[in-house]
């Protein structure tokens, strides 16, 4: 079901129904036995963190000839707490369901907890109906939350919109301002657009040029007194290198200055941005292992900088390969059914006991 010999850690799943079949087999077998199932391999009697599949050529300088499963040894120093953090803007995609499955497996085999956190700060697209649909699909697959909107817990609330109402993110942004890790930026949208166009014309990577990074405090105060709108930006350290030990890809490093500019934490209306919310929530909820799709890998550098500035420990990270269609593009509607609900309505069952016994 999985063709693993593909570049860039890709998993090729021939079509939508094949993706669904693999997902349901994984869910059924995971519930039916004490085996960890990763990709097309079954690893008996071991923890998820000790059996991580690495495909093809990895960022950890693994030999390109070694395309089989690699075993990464790690000693857990704190209780395992994993999370699945969907945005309720539509149905649960089969790729998201696979991510949730791996997070659930990691928590269960380490005797830890599986959390569900709803990232609903996109008020224009997030709906409570979509949230209920995603939660129902997770329950249908047997991926039951130990903490979350339905189960509750002592690290809640488990909706970002409710956490935002408490002033949590704004308070931590103020802490970063006071510690010198952030600053107020009064650039207008027109000024920022002009800077972006100028960078593109010069063939440079568009990023903020730090206009307000070391501004005169008196000028900043004057603008505050005048009621001018501002954003809060993170002050990216010069000469900084961020390195994470990814459970799938090995060590991954970024030259921060070359990669990103001073990025926004709070928008002009006080709304916190995605990377700020995620970093803060993972820390406050004591998430030990973040398992997510590889498309989030580039977000990690910003989140790591935020956590370090707030004096929080970084979690373990595992960035999974994408679920692809036959044409090696990301699985989408043009390949057929892509959501768990679609597969359910087409007659797929959440449990395949006869097949799981064979596995």
Catalytic site residues?
Answer: 333
End-to-end CA distance of the chain: 13
> Most distant CA pair in the chain: distance in Å?
73
Quickly count: other Cβ atoms within 10 Å of residue 172's Cβ: 22
**Using CA atoms, how far apart are residues 258 and 187, in angstroms rounded to an integer?**
22
**Bond from prior residue into 261 cis (ω within 30 degrees of 0):** no
Please name the residue ranges forming H helices in 80-127: 94-109
At residue 3, the 3 state secondary structure works out as strand
Chain centroid to CA 304? 12
Chain centroid to CA 215? 34
Cβ proximity of 36 and 69 under 8 Å: no
Q: What is the DSSP string of 278-344?
A: HHHHHHHTT--EEEEEGGGGGGHHHHHHHHHHTT-PPPEEEEEPPEE-TTSSBP-GGGS--BHHHHH
Cβ proximity of 256 and 241 under 8 Å: yes
């Amino acid at each position: 079901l999985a063709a693993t010999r593909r570049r860039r850690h890709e998993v090729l799943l021939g079509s939508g129904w094949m993706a669904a079949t693999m997902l349901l087999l994984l869910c059924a077998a995971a519930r039916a036995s004490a085996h960890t199932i990763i990709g097309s391999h079954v690893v008996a009697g071991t923890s998820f963190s000790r059996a991580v599949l690495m495909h093809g050529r990895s960022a950890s300088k693994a030999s390109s000839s070694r395309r089989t499963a690699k075993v990464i040894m790690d000693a857990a120093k704190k209780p395992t707490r994993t999370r699945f953090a969907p945005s309720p803007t539509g149905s649960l995609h089969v790729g998201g369901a696979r991510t949730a499955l791996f997070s659930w497996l990691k928590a269960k085999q380490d005797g830890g907890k599986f959390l569900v956190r709803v990232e609903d700060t996109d008020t224009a697209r997030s709906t409570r109906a979509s949230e209920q649909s995603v939660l129902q699909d997770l329950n249908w697959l047997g991926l039951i939350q130990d903490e979350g909107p339905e189960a509750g817990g002592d690290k809640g609330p488990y909706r970002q919109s409710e956490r935002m109402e408490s002033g949590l993110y704004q308070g931590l942004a103020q802490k970063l301002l006071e510690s010198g890790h952030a600053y107020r930026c009064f650039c207008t949208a027109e000024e920022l657009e002009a800077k972006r166009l100028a960078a593109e014309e010069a063939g440079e990577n568009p990023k903020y040029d730090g206009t307000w990074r070391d501004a005169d405090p008196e000028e900043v105060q004057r603008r505050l007194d005048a009621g001018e709108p501002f954003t809060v930006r993170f002050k990216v350290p010069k000469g900084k290198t961020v390195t994470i030990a990814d459970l799938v890809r090995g060590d991954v490093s970024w030259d921060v200055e070359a990669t990103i500019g001073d990025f926004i934490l709070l928008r002009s209306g006080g709304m916190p941005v995605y990377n700020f919310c995620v970093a803060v929530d993972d820390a406050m909820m004591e998430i030990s292992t973040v398992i997510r799709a590889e498309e989030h890998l580039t977000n990690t550098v910003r989140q790591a900088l935020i956590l370090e500035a707030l004096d929080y420990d970084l979690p373990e990270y595992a960035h999974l390969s994408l679920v692809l269609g036959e044409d090696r593009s990301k699985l989408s509607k043009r390949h057929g059914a892509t959501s768990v609900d679609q597969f359910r309505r087409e007659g797929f069952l959440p449990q395949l006991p006869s097949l799981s016994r064979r596995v």
